[in-house]
């Protein structure tokens, strides 16, 4: 009996020891887990704090990171070609990167230059002439000779070009691929005059605003053509017609392959659909639209302000057709462009940069008269193009 008691006591001691050991391991693991969790929580808090500080940080000045000299001919104009600079005049055009290096140069003689841009591609035409030059930021791509005088142009990011051409009694619309072969043409004798044209970036959809007279009143049809597989099943590629009997529509544009919009004096129409666009939303305004600016994802309409201390109001709409912001400002503007998180308003001497959720990141002046401002890579780094230099700046 004594041996049994001894055995049971020894067994109890061993089990107790093992239990204490397991308890110690569990405590050690829990302590380690809590320490790791604390480190993760603290790190996440620090990151969140830094993100909030970065998001709300306001810049008051800028450093000039680099500057290169340039020569600009009298009468020449600068436009943005994605991340490059396209300079054009009646005598020719050339493309320059932000380092001041000339990428390509083309001479011509054009009395009335028509220029349209889609992302990285530009089409330069001669109003009432018969030549169209197609180029991007890397090279001059093609030249098209039209059969009739040019009245209007549209270009897609893939190099497709649509030209409104004037015949003796009628107007024609030709759409050319990048190799110079037209995809299709539409006879406009009975449909009205094409007052505005736009191609989707992929070149598949064409939007035309036809202006016509009805009982002495100007009216508009916004028409969509599809040159792809879907459109081949429709007569004349026509996949959508939207009539506005009480409205003159002088502008129609594609923001991206899925979103287009048209504007009248006091009305905005946003269309969605990559094959057969439909009306997503319409907005009516009591005020007259002063200017229209747009990017891949945002659209901005400028109105005269109803506030006594501000001259203008900018209403911003997303590609989903929702109004996301109204911003009142007092400065004159040459251009407004939209980035992923911010929009930029500037003229030759002043600039405002503001986020879509209301943080004014920068409100200041340029040190030189600026013709063109464009992103230059990096956070809040821009290229300022003047008559004599290209200055890369970093906000601080």
Q: How confident is the model at residue 84, as a pLDDT?
A: 96
The answer to whether position 24 is within a domain reads: yes
Amino acid 170: pLDDT:
83
* Residue 162: Cβ-neighbour burial (10 angstroms; 0-12, 13-18, 19+): buried
Residue 32 located in a structural domain: yes
- For residue 343, which of 383, 395, 391, 298 has the smallest C-alpha distance? 298
Distance CA 16, CA 282 (A): 78
Q: Give the per-residue pLDDT at 257.
A: 98
**With 0-12 CB in 10 A as exposed, 13-18 as middle and 19+ as buried, what is 20?**
exposed
Averages of pLDDT over runs of 10 residues in the chain (396 residues) are 59 58 65 66 54 71 97 94 96 96 95 96 96 94 92 96 89 80 59 92 96 86 94 92 93 98 95 98 96 97 96 97 96 97 97 96 97 94 98 98
- Quote the number of domains for the chain: 1
Rounded Cα distance, 227 and 233, in Å: 10
Q: Which residue has the tokens 């201390």?
A: 309
- Distance of alpha carbon 129 from alpha carbon 156, whole angstroms: 21
Q: Are 89 and 107 in contact (CB under 8 A)?
A: no
Q: Does 281 fall in a domain? A: no
| Alpha-carbon dihedral 278, 282, 288, 293, rounded to 10 degrees | -60
| Within-domain flag for 35 | yes
Other CB atoms closer than 10 Å to residue 314's CB: what's the count?
Answer: 23
Q: Are 193 and 221 in contact (CB under 8 A)?
A: no
Q: Put the strands of the sheet holding 335-338 in their side by side order.
A: 335-338, 342-346, 350-355, 360-365
Cα–Cα dist 305/310, whole Å:
6
Residue 216: predicted pLDDT = 80
**Per-residue DSSP letter, 233:** G
Q: How many alpha carbons lie under 13 Å from residue 175 in its C-beta half-sphere?
A: 26
Question: Within a domain: residue 41?
Answer: yes
User: Do the beta carbons of residue 170 and residue 188 sit within 8 Å?
Assistant: yes
Considering the domain boundaries, does residue 329 fall inside one? no
Inside any domain, residue 34: yes
Asked whether residue 308 is assigned to any structural domain, the reply reads no
List of long-range contacts for 225-233, beta carbons under 8 Å, 24+ apart: 225/184, 225/186, 226/275, 226/276, 227/175, 227/183, 227/184, 227/203, 228/204, 228/275, 230/275, 230/276, 231/204, 231/275
What are the pLDDT digits (tens) for 273-329? 999 999 999 999 999 999 999 999 999 999 999 999 999 999 999 999 999 999 999
The reported pTM is: 0.84
State the residue range of the domain holding 27: 18-51
Spatial distance between the Cα atoms of 376 and 344, rounded to a whole number of angstroms: 14
DSSP 165-221: EE-SS-EEEEEE-TTS-EEEEEE-TTT-EEEEEEE-TTS-EEEEEEEEEETTEEEEE
Contact 387, 72 (CB under 8 A): yes
> φ and ψ at 134, to 5 degrees?
-115, 130
């Amino acid at each position: 009996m004594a041996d049994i008691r001894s055995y049971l006591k020894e067994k109890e001691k061993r089990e107790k020891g093992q239990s204490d050991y397991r308890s110690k391991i569990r405590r050690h693991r829990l302590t380690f887990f809590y320490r790791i969790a604390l480190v993760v929580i603290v790190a996440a808090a620090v990151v969140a704090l830094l993100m909030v500080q970065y998001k709300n940080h306001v810049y008051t000045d800028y450093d000039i990171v680099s500057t290169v000299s340039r020569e600009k001919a009298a009468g020449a104009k600068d436009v943005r070609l994605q991340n490059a600079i396209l300079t054009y005049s009646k005598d020719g055009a050339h493309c320059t990167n932000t380092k001041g290096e000339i990428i390509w140069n083309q001479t011509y003689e054009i009395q009335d230059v028509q220029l349209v841009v889609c992302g990285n591609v530009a089409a330069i035409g001669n109003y009432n002439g018969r030549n169209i030059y197609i180029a991007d930021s890397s090279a001059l791509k093609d030249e098209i000779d039209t059969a009739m005088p040019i009245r209007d142009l549209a270009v897609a990011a893939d190099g497709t070009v649509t030209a409104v051409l004037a015949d003796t009694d009628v107007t024609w619309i030709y759409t050319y691929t990048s190799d110079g072969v037209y995809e299709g043409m539409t006879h406009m004798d009975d449909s009205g005059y094409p007052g505005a044209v736009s191609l989707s970036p992929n070149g598949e959809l064409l939007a035309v605003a036809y202006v016509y007279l009805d009982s002495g009143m100007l009216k508009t049809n916004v028409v969509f053509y599809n040159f792809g597989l879907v459109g081949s099943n429709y007569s004349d590629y026509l996949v959508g017609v939207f009539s506005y009997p009480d409205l003159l529509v002088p502008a129609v544009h594609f923001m991206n392959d899925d979103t287009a919009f048209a504007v009248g004096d006091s009305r905005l129409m946003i269309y969605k659909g990559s094959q057969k666009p439909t009306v997503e939303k319409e907005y009516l305004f009591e005020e007259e639209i002063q200017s229209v600016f747009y990017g891949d994802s945002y659209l901005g309409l400028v109105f005269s302000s109803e506030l006594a201390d501000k001259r203008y109001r900018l209403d911003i709409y997303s590609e989903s057709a929702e109004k996301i912001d109204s911003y009142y400002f007092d400065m004159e503007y040459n251009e407004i462009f939209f980035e992923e998180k911010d929009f930029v308003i500037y003229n030759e001497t002043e600039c405002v940069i503001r986020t879509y959720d209301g943080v004014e990141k920068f409100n200041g002046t340029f040190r030189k008269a600026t013709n063109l401002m464009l992103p230059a890579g990096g956070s809040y780094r821009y290229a300022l193009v003047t008559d004599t230099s290209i200055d890369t700046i970093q906000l601080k």
